Chain A
């Protein structure tokens, strides 16, 4: 498995990833962190965006919808489930 970084929008459905970098200021980081999304956390992509709609991921056993623009700022690397 390569260690290339991709954003959350590009991650394929039903694959696992680890958040490596969040491109954004403190406000964005804090918002994401409140639902358990931070650098180092493992996530699973549930569904992709339609019409630039939100991306849905599973993190810490719950599903979270993340707006398209926000998902673009979250960089992940693919990992094995």
Chain B
């Protein structure tokens, strides 16, 4: 047997995960490193008849004292491997950026562990007019070096066949002069012929400069939303919803009716068969996560993975960093915020990429308050379409500014420093579609594993409350007070309960009432703000624990109520 474990080390954006995928089979799992929010991939590789574990260590630039969670995890993984022994490290380098990448390599060499070097993106080196003498590099560093182009698979076979060549390097250098040593090595092995600015590089500059970057970000975001909506809606209307109703629901109802037990029917199906009017575990419990959330999540993750692999997400974070700093958060929050336009569930999950709790909570609040999710927005637009279009704009602007002001004030009241953005802006590259889809698949799998059981459990819990008539009592005692204070008809009360399950449906249920413009605006604003939907609440609980979740929900409720109350007095 070669070794028990292989660790893949490398900077971010060097194609490390593509190499990982080339080496592993289908048995890949994505997990969170215990006690952290850092995700990493783990898989197995067949060498002869043996299975070797391969870990795709989070991309890092340095192994010195860690300055962020990804570096901490990478450190720990290496320390663990060293203490267990019987492992080797594949260090993947971006050959087009040898100098910066060698920094990590020298740090790895210092650890006196068996290493193999991989110079990835070898095809691009040629295009960019760079010449690298990799044999000389191998000689200097006293390590085996293999050039690869992971996307086409070039060089992977040689790498696989030569894993046993990994060795502990005897290259010696003075730690204080690391960058000088690197400069000397690069000077010896690399020649750059002069070249002109390519068209792609011009686009790169255009999308990052302050003004043009902002405009192009708005256009790219808008187009992304159109695409996401198109994919999401069509998947629901023509695939998921018909499949659920015709293939599944009909048969399961027939099956349960055969049992002839009204109690079992009530527990499993609830008040009504239609999933969105009930709290049954077999209809609503499955409909909400699989028919409502999953298709949109698929569309969102697909577009997100594409933007990520092209290299656009880092630019987006940079463009919005200045504005977000005013709210106590920073450019990294851009991604969760964008997800929030679609569905709050993956958005809250995505706040994991933020390192500090304060930033996560402020971002979560902004996500929950600033705009309704896509299905809600569509319904609100339809509801207000009966009146002048200016009311629709008024409502959305109002929501947006209330959110900005609240987060701005919260940031001022609860003092704390927001982290500085510091990231590499990768060059644009064509996405490798196999990888995009694999990543999409892993992310959906993670959602199914982490969020779906919660949602189903939550709906079941509500179903029980419903059977015990607890929700009804609550409805009758408390909610009429609110409707009275907000100047809304009493019939809206049951809708507010439905709203907890799925807010766009609640808004749609307002259609039959003959609401005045004022009532329509106030009730949609209230329904958008008053509570996060059930799925979102459960995800909040999972991510922020009970205390912070309660704070978020109470804040949201008070804000929703007072805004609606003030509007009722003013309009």
Binding site for B on A (CB under 8 A): 26-27, 30-36, 38, 41, 46-54, 56, 59-70
B420 and A64 contact, CB distance less than 8 A: no
Q: Give me 22 A-to-B residue pairs in the complex whose CB atoms sit less than 8 angstroms apart, sorted by A's number.
A: A26-B65, A30-B64, A31-B422, A32-B422, A34-B67, A34-B103, A47-B208, A49-B322, A50-B211, A51-B323, A51-B326, A53-B321, A54-B318, A54-B321, A54-B331, A62-B425, A64-B424, A65-B314, A65-B317, A68-B322, A68-B325, A70-B421
Interchain CA distance A30-B66 in the complex, whole Å: 9
Closest 5 CB pairs of A and B: A53-B322, A67-B420, A50-B210, A34-B62, A51-B322
Known: A53-B325, A54-B331. A65 touches B67 (CB 8 A): no
B322 and A54 contact, CB distance less than 8 A: yes
Which of A38, A46, A47 has most B Cβ within 10 Å?
Answer: A47
Interchain CA distance A50-B99 in the complex, whole Å: 30
Known: A53-B322, A65-B421. A60 touches B205 (CB 8 A): no
Binding site for A on B (CB under 8 A): 60-62, 64-65, 67, 96-97, 99-100, 103, 179, 204-205, 208-211, 213-214, 314, 317-323, 325-326, 330-331, 419-427
A62 and B100 contact, CB distance less than 8 A: yes
B97 and A61 contact, CB distance less than 8 A: yes
Known: A30-B65, A53-B319. A35 touches B422 (CB 8 A): yes
In-complex Cβ contact of A31 among B67, B100, B330, B424 (8 A): B67
**CB proximity of A19 to chain B, nearest CB, Å:** 12
Please give, as numbers and ranges, the residues of chain A lying within 8 Å of B425 by CB-CB distance.
56, 62-65
Interchain CA distance A65-B65 in the complex, whole Å: 22
A36 and B179 contact, CB distance less than 8 A: yes
**CB proximity of A28 to chain B, nearest CB, Å:** 9
Interchain CA distance A46-B214 in the complex, whole Å: 16
Interchain CA distance A52-B427 in the complex, whole Å: 24
Please give, as numbers and ranges, the residues of chain A lying within 8 Å of B205 by CB-CB distance.
46-47
Known: A46-B205, A46-B208, A64-B425. A38 touches B61 (CB 8 A): no
A53 and B210 contact, CB distance less than 8 A: yes
Interchain CA distance A69-B421 in the complex, whole Å: 9
Count of chain A to chain B residue pairs whose CB atoms are closer than 8 Å in the complex: 113
A60 and B99 contact, CB distance less than 8 A: yes
A36 and B421 contact, CB distance less than 8 A: no
- With A51-B323, A60-B97, A70-B422 given, can you name 12 additional A-B contacts, CB distance below 8 Å? A31-B67, A34-B67, A41-B179, A47-B210, A51-B326, A53-B322, A53-B323, A54-B318, A61-B96, A63-B425, A65-B425, A70-B421
**CB proximity of B193 to chain A, nearest CB, Å:** 14
* Minimum CB distance partner of B324 in chain A: A53
A53 and B318 contact, CB distance less than 8 A: yes
A61 and B99 contact, CB distance less than 8 A: yes
Please give, as numbers and ranges, the residues of chain B lying within 8 Å of A41 by CB-CB distance.
179
Interchain CA distance A69-B420 in the complex, whole Å: 7
* Minimum CB distance partner of A40 in chain B: B179
Please give, as numbers and ranges, the residues of chain B lying within 8 Å of A65 by CB-CB distance.
314, 317-318, 321, 331, 421-425
A56 and B323 contact, CB distance less than 8 A: no
**CB proximity of A67 to chain B, nearest CB, Å:** 3
In-complex Cβ contact of B214 among A30, A50, A60 (8 A): A50
Interchain CA distance A34-B322 in the complex, whole Å: 23
**CB proximity of B189 to chain A, nearest CB, Å:** 15
Please give, as numbers and ranges, the residues of chain A lying within 8 Å of B210 by CB-CB distance.
47-50, 53
Known: A30-B64, A36-B179. A67 touches B422 (CB 8 A): yes
Known: A36-B100, A61-B100, A67-B420. A56 touches B318 (CB 8 A): yes
Interchain CA distance A31-B60 in the complex, whole Å: 11
A67 and B211 contact, CB distance less than 8 A: no
Please give, as numbers and ranges, the residues of chain B lying within 8 Å of A63 by CB-CB distance.
204, 208, 424-425, 427
* Minimum CB distance partner of B330 in chain A: A67
Please give, as numbers and ranges, the residues of chain B lying within 8 Å of A35 by CB-CB distance.
61, 100, 422, 424
Interchain CA distance A49-B209 in the complex, whole Å: 9
Please give, as numbers and ranges, the residues of chain A lying within 8 Å of B314 by CB-CB distance.
65
Interchain CA distance A77-B453 in the complex, whole Å: 58
Interchain CA distance A15-B314 in the complex, whole Å: 23
A30 and B99 contact, CB distance less than 8 A: no
